[in-house]
């Protein structure tokens, strides 16, 4: 029975977390536990010494031992102080290491998730799992270690002193103690539900703040200040309400224990003065030692009674954390991944069928080839599958059927690192890190020199505006480039692609945020960048792809037309209609 119960406990989140933490931080916890044992022993010793202290002050026969007893008291409290310091330091180091390790694990897990995961998950929820989950993990381990080592041993030592000094009076403690511990059980039913509601409300606060930060223009244009204030107020008050409820439940134990401790002390005083048949009356020192031990037992007993409440309150964020950690990675490397060989950069889709999350196919039985060193344009109405092709080439997703090749190698057989080195990408939604211009450009190639970075910026016609910034290349761009215009961000993204010097270049509406003059300048840079590079361009504005070596019209997951510009115009089909819609001048 005990073995089954232990196996069940060990298989749960608590056993898993405590076991992993003790293995990883065993040395720190060993030192902390040894110090806790000393604290427990010196605490019990303090109560024991009260007999000698009182007797030395009240009994003439003990006056000669006052100096010895005083020295012993000093040594006792010095040892306790040192042990308490060591315990706190090593427990904090172990706890901080647990938080760091859990957050590192969670972040690495997030990086292994597919792009589809982030499109379906709210950032506020992920933030809650990483921060609150890791913090709760530290709290849980600390509570279990300190409660089962320091508090339990301290309580055992003090009970020993009480029983040794006054066995009969100690019976009162054994009556009151279990009543106090049992009185906390009813709290556990409510704590978890309240904690879940509080975490949902905290997540809503984070969500509102993020939406306010990213959508402030829309909020102001549509006068949504009052509505956003209502959402924030509701979330804040919900957190306040849940926090008050948890505080109320956690606080019930303390006054209850204090009341019962007062009852116990009063009972001891009454019984000690009544006298009990067959027993000698206690000396003043014995009685003081017993009462001291009884009063000192209050704190560890209180912490023991509240341990389950604290554990229950930490389990919700811990379960959220493990829910993320235990999710299976959708995109995995081959057990023995190959390096993507250096080659001309031909990209081929062979009988590829793909649908998001197993849904209806977005691409169905597609076969196409992007010639090495050539520029191929993908055009067509939105939703046809153009961006999905990019996602498959970058291996954000794997085909449901068929496979994608680069220079004849199946992408599912190669390592992620070698694939990503082969590809450079510029999208219409330009992302910049909250760092300097120089750091943002260097992300494309960490080993690039400053001269190479400046040359790439000049090629993207970004150097002049960078030098006009307050600190030039060392200017902070703000969160996602908040301090730059859309065109400036786009040119920095193109400079990154130029610096990357990859064999395959993917451009998704790369000039969409530029004005006519900037677009003309950047087009010159792209013409240079795409020389002898396999370039695949997604464009809705046909003016940007008219000089492509090949144009493919994508519709409903299929390539319905392909060829050079003149060939497609002669066919007088879908591409011709798109061309006429954008360039044909309406009759006067």
Per-residue pLDDT tens over the stretch 84-97: 899 889 988 888 88
Strand locations in 151-291, DSSP E? none
Q: For residue 442, what are the contacts with CB-CB under 8 A and spacing of at least 6?
A: 448, 453
pLDDT score recorded for residue 234: 83
Q: In what order do the strands lie in the sheet with 375-379?
A: 423-426, 504-508, 534-538, 375-379, 550-555, 558-563
Per-residue pLDDT tens over the stretch 150-189: 888 888 888 888 888 877 777 766 665 565 555 555 555 5
Which residues belong to CATH 3.40.50.300 in the chain? Answer: 347-582
Is residue 4 pLDDT above 50, yes or no? no
Which residues belong to CATH 1.20.1560.10 in the chain? Answer: 2-325
Span 389-401, average pLDDT:
88
Q: What is the CATH number of domain 347-582?
A: 3.40.50.300
Determine which helix (DSSP H) or strand (DSSP E) holds 559, and give its type and residue range. Answer: strand 558-563
Tokens linked to 99: 């938080």
Residue of 102, 92, 111, 90 lying closest to 35 (CA atoms): 90
Is residue 227 pLDDT above 90, yes or no? no
Least confident of 130-134, 142-146, 176-180: 176-180
pLDDT score recorded for residue 268: 62
- Which of the pair, 47 or 239, is modelled with greater confidence? 47
Tokens linked to 133: 């989950």
Residue of 37, 36, 39, 42 lying closest to 73 (CA atoms): 42
Q: Which CATH class is domain 2-325?
A: mainly alpha
Q: State which of 18-22, 229-233, 413-417 shows the largest mean pLDDT.
A: 413-417
Determine which helix (DSSP H) or strand (DSSP E) holds 349, and give its type and residue range. Answer: strand 347-354
- Work out the pLDDT band at 10, boundaries 50, 70, 90: very low
Determine which helix (DSSP H) or strand (DSSP E) holds 39, and give its type and residue range. Answer: helix 26-58
pLDDT score recorded for residue 311: 77
Q: State which of 65-79, 213-227, 237-251 shows the largest mean pLDDT.
A: 65-79
């Amino acid at each position: 029975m005990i073995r089954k119960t232990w196996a069940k406990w060990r298989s749960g989140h608590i056993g898993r977390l405590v076991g992993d933490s003790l293995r990883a931080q065993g040395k720190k916890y060993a030192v902390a536990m040894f110090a806790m044992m000393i604290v427990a022993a010196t605490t019990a010793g303090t109560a024991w010494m009260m007999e000698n202290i009182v007797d030395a002050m009240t009994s003439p026969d003990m006056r000669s031992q006052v100096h010895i007893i005083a020295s012993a008291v000093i040594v006792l409290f010095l040892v306790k102080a040192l042990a308490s310091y060591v315990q706190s330091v090593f427990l904090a180091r172990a706890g901080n290491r647990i938080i760091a390790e859990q957050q590192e694990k969670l972040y690495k897990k997030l990086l292994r998730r597919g792009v589809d995961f982030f499109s379906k998950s709210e950032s506020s929820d992920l933030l809650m799992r990483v921060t609150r989950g890791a913090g709760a993990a530290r709290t849980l381990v600390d509570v279990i270690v300190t409660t089962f080592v320091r508090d339990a041993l301290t309580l055992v030592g003090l009970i020993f002193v009480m029983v040794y000094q006054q066995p009969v009076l100690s019976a009162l403690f054994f009556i009151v103690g279990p009543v106090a511990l049992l009185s906390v059980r009813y709290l556990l039913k409510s704590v978890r539900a309240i904690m879940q509601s509080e975490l949902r409300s905290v997540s809503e606060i984070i969500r509102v703040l993020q939406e306010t930060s990213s959508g402030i223009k829309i909020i102001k244009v549509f006068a949504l200040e009052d509505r956003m204030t209502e959402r924030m107020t509701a979330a804040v008050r919900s957190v306040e309400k849940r926090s008050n409820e948890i505080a109320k439940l956690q606080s019930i134990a303390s006054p209850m224990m204090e009341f019962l401790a007062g009852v116990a002390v009063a009972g001891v005083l009454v019984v000690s003065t009544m006298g009990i048949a067959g027993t000698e009356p206690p000396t003043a020192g014995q009685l003081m030692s017993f009462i001291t031990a009884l009063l000192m037992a209050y704190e560890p007993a209180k912490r023991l009674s509240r341990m389950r409440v604290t554990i229950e309150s930490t389990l919700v964020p811990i379960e959220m954390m493990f829910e993320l950690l235990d999710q299976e990675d959708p995109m995995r490397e081959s057990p023995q991944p190959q390096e993507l060989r250096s080659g001309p950069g031909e990209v081929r889709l062979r009988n590829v069928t793909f649908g998001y999350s197993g849904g209806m196919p977005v691409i169905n039985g597609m076969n196409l080839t992007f010639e090495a060193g050539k520029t191929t344009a993908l055009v067509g109405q939105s939703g046809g599958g153009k961006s999905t092709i990019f996602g498959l080439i970058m291996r954000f997703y794997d085909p449901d059927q068929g496979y994608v090749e680069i220079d004849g190698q199946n992408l599912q057989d190669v390592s992620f690192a070698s694939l990503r080195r082969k590809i450079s990408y510029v999208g219409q939604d330009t992302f910049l890190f909250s760092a300097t211009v120089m750091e943002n450009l260097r992300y494309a190639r960490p080993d690039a020199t400053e001269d190479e970075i400046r040359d790439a910026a000049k090629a993207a016609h970004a150097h002049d505006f960078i030098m006009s910034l307050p600190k030039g290349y060392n200017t902070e761009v703000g969160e996602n480039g908040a301090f730059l215009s859309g065109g400036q961000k786009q040119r920095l993204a193109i400079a990154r692609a130029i610096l990357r010097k990859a064999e395959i270049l993917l451009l998704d509406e790369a000039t969409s945020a530029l004005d006519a003059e900037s677009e003309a300048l950047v087009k010159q840079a792209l013409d240079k960048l795409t020389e002898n590079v396999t370039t695949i361009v997604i464009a809705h504005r046909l003016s940007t792809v008219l000089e492509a070596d090949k144009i493919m019209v994508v519709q409903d997951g299929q390539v319905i037309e392909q060829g050079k510009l003149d060939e497609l115009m002669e066919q007088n089909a879908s591409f011709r209609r798109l061309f006429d819609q954008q360039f044909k001048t309406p009759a006067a």
